Structure 1
Amino acid sequence: MDAATPPPVLEVTAVRKDYGPVAAVADVSFSVSRGECFGLLGPNGAGKTTTIRLIYGFSPLSAGAVRVFGEDIVTAFRRIRARLGVCQQGNTLDPDLTVLENLLVFAGYFRIPRREAQARAEELLRFFALEARKRFQYEELSGGMARRLMLARALINRPDLLILDEPTTGLDPQSRNTLWDRLLDLKRQGLTILLTTHAMEEAERFCDRLCIVDGGRVTAAGTPRGLIEAHVGRHVLEVEAPEPAFLEAVTRGGLPSERSGRRFIVYGRDRAELVALRDRFCPEYGLLRPASLEDVFLRLTGRELRE
Structure 2
Amino acid sequence: MEPITTTAELSRDLEGSGRPVLLDARWKLGGPPGRSEYESGHIPGAHYIDLSTELAGPPGRQGRHPLPPPEVFETAMRRAGVSARRDVVVYDGGDTIGAARAWWMLRWAGHDRVRVLDGGLRAWSAAGLPLERGTVAREEGDFTVRPGGMKVLDADEAAALARSGLLLDARAGERYRGEVEPIDSVAGHIPGAVGAPTAANMTEDGRFLPREALAERFHALGATPAAEVGVYCGSGVSAAQQVIALELAGVEAALYVGSWSEWSADPSRPVAKGPERG
TM-score (norm 1): 0.27
Structure with bigger strand share is 1
Structure number with greater Rg is: 1
TM-score by length of 2: 0.29
